[in-house]
Each structure stands twice: as C-alpha cells, then as structure tokens.
C-alpha cells in the first residue's frame, strides 16, 4: 500500500514539474512592479539622445502596455544620469539610455566618478553605433572641410568649436582634427546638443562637434552644415556626407556607440528580460529604418557582448585621449 501511495505521489510531483516546465517564462511586463518605467537620458530634451529615447519609449509602451517616461537628467557630460541609475531601484523599473560619450569616455577621462561603470551599471544591449561629425554654422559661409580650413586662416581668433560632451569623442575628434589640419582648435563646453545647435544656427558659435544623430536633421534643414563624419565608411542615413578617411585623415576614423543599462544589482533574470524586449523593438524593420534615418547604425547584442565591446572601446578611447594630449581630470 505504501509503495502505491508513494508511487502515486511521485507521479503527481513529476506531472506537476513537467507542467511547470511547459509553462512559458514570465514576460517583462509580468516581472515588473506596478507603475511607470523610467528611461533616464543624460542630456536635455531635443537632442539626438533624447529624440531616440522617446521613439524607443513609445514603442516600449505599446509593446508592454506600461507607461514609459523619459526623464532628462542633464549634467556632468551625461554622468549625472548614470549615477541616478546606478543608485536607482533594482526592480527593473528604471533603465538608462546612454552614448559612449557618457560611459566609456567619462571612465577614461575622469580620475573619479560617483559610480563604477563596470560594477554599478548592468549592460543590457547595444542600440547601435554612430559617427562623430564636425559641423559649422551656416553664417560663416563654408560647405566643405577645405573651405573651412581657408576660413580658419582668415579668422585666427575663431579657432573654437562647441563640444556636446567634454572629455568625450565629440571633444577629442575636434581636437585631433585641428592637429591633423595644422590649426589647433579650442573646445568649448556645452550641456548637450540642443544649446549648441541653437548657437550654431544663430551664428554665436562658428563650429561644433557631436554625434551624427544630434545634427543630421538640422543639417538637412540648413540650420548647420556637416563637413565630415568620423566613421571609416559613409553613413546609411547620409551617404552624401564625406568620411574623414576620404578627406585624407584615416587615422582619425572612429565610431561611438549607444547602449542600454540597468542598475548593477538588477537580477540577471530581469537583465535578460529587458534584453529580449529591447532587441525585439530595435531589430524590428520599421524601428531600424526610423533610427537609421536619425543617424544610428542599429546593432543589438547580448549583455555579455556589450560588456566585451565596451571594454574594447574603452581601450581605443584611451589611445584617442592620449593623442589629444588630454589628462584625466
């Protein structure tokens, strides 16, 4: 009798285990607490990072059925937002959308940060790569890099350019460009792309440097002029723009990248659920087309692949920083 009871109990347990294993894994929406998701962006509203973040947030809202709020925490070249997320809730309700200008670049250029990039921010997925571009105000009357070089010769007191993030690729690309053309260019700090674009359009700044995603729509609207891009090949969104390689400066070729992160102590299960949802959105043909149109070369990854890529980019950035003669501050 006991054998039959035990056997029946064993069969019942086995059946329950089989049923449990057959059930679908919980979705991200099921795993998140009630209330809105907060997507933190480290730059002012209106810039390229903010625009992309809002496009992705809207699609997340549709897909998950949860309100997604984009929160602009501008300041300290994007690191203020990083710190907010590093110290934020670990229940999956807060994520960070950030360019490498605010992550690997700041790790390289600052002696200390209020967080540890590798420990306090959990990589979720790459969003894509983006070229750095050098732009000029339409008020100075130049349309090509050779024309700009001639303009610099005639205007020795205007050898400055606005940088959307000091201590970042948008800073060093401009400095290295000045070295390459034999005319030192002085960086001027701006709190993101939006105020720099305003100054370029009004003629208050002669030139600037930032991500293609920040400036492409304004270039098309003739509010500024992109002279060159840093990528080794032409951008899908703007095949008419010359690369720095084509213009004769192959050593300056480089790309920046965008990625999503969560707090470092967010569980691996939540990281993987976020990875699945974000990749599904980013890899969708209509979303890919829309982001490419803004200048982002969409490229997603696993969390581990992002961590590896980030380390590689950090090493490359150290070399660029050294070439620019910049010491950690």
* Close Cβ partners of 231 (under 8 Å, ≥ 6 residues apart): 129, 131, 243, 253, 254, 255
Would the pLDDT of 5 be above 70? Answer: no
pLDDT in tens, 19-45: 444 445 679 999 999 889 999 999 989
Mean pLDDT of 89-107: 95
Sign of the torsion formed by the C-alpha atoms of 183, 188, 189 and 190: negative
- Give the residue among 111, 155, 109, 122 at the shortest CA–CA distance from 136: 155
- Which of the 8 DSSP states describes residue 155? -
d(CA 8, CA 11): 5
In which element (H, E) is residue 38 found? strand 37-41
Averaged pLDDT of the chain: 90
Per-residue pLDDT band at 321 (split at 50, 70, 90): confident
Q: What is the pLDDT of residue 22?
A: 46
Question: Crossing angle for the helix pair 145-154 and 169-181, nearest 10 degrees?
Answer: 70
pLDDT band at 168 (very low <50, low <70, confident <90, very high): confident
For residue 6, pLDDT beyond 90: no
| Region 132-252: CATH code | 3.40.190.10
- pLDDT above 60: residue 188: yes
Per-residue pLDDT band at 18 (split at 50, 70, 90): very low
What confidence score (pLDDT) does residue 11 get? 46
Q: Long-range contacts: 186-189, Cβ < 8 Å, 24+?
A: 186/159, 186/160, 186/161, 187/160, 187/161, 187/162, 187/163, 188/160, 188/161, 188/162, 188/163, 189/162, 189/163
pTM: 0.81
Q: Once rounded to an integer, what is the mean pLDDT over residues 230-236?
A: 92
For residues 2-15, one letter each, b for 16 or more C-beta atoms within 10 angstroms of the residue's C-beta and e for the rest, the string is: eeeeeeeeeeeeee
Question: For 157-181, what is the mean pLDDT?
Answer: 90
9: pLDDT confidence band, cut at 50, 70 and 90?
very low
27 Cβ contact list (under 8 Å, min separation 6):
273
57, 59, 150, 244 from 276: Cα distances, Å: 15, 14, 51, 36
Of 2.40.100.10, 1.10.3720.10, 3.40.190.150, 3.40.50.620, which CATH number belongs to 37-128+255-323?
Answer: 3.40.190.150
pLDDT of residue 17: 45
Q: Which of 111-125, 235-249, 313-327 has the lowest mean pLDDT?
A: 313-327
Domain boundaries, the chain: 37-128+255-323, 132-252
Whose structure tokens read 């590896």?
308
Same fold for the pair 37-128+255-323 and 132-252: yes
């Amino acid at each position: 009798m006991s054998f039959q009871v035990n056997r029946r109990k064993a069969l019942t347990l086995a059946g329950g285990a089989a049923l449990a294993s057959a059930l679908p894994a919980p979705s991200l929406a099921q795993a998140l607490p009630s209330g809105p998701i907060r997507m933190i962006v480290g730059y002012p509203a209106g810039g390229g990072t903010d625009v992309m973040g809002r496009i992705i947030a809207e699609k997340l809202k549709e897909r998950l059925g949860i309100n997604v709020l984009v929160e602009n925490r501008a300041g300290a070249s994007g690191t203020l937002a990083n710190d907010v997320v590093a110290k934020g809730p670990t229940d999956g309700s807060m994520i960070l959308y950030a360019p490498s200008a605010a992550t690997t670049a700041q790790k390289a250029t600052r002696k200390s940060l209020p967080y540890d990039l590798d420990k306090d921010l959990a990589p979720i997925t790459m969003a894509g790569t983006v070229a750095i571009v050098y732009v000029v105000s339409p008020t100075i009357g130049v349309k090509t890099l050779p024309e700009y070089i001639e303009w610099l010769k005639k205007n020795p007191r205007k050898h400055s350019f606005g940088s959307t993030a000091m201590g970042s690729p948008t800073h060093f690309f401009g400095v290295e460009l000045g070295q390459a053309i034999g005319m030192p260019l002085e960086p001027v700090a701006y709190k993101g792309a939006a105020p720099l674009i305003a100054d370029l359009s009004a003629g208050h700044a002669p030139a600037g440097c930032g991500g293609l995603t920040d400036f492409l729509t304004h270039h098309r609207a003739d509010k500024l002029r992109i002279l060159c891009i840093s990528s080794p090949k032409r951008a899908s969104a703007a095949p008419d723009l010359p690369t720095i390689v084509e213009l004769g400066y192959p050593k300056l070729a480089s790309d920046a990248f965008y990625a999503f992160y969560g707090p470092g102590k967010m569980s691996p299960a939540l990281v993987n659920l976020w990875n699945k949802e974000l990749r599904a959105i980013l890899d969708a043909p209509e979303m890919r087309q829309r982001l490419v149109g803004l200048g982002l070369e969409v490229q997603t990854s696993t969390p581990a692949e992002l961590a590896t890529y980030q380390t590689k980019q950090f090493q490359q950035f150290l070399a660029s920083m050294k070439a620019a003669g910049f010491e950690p501050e």
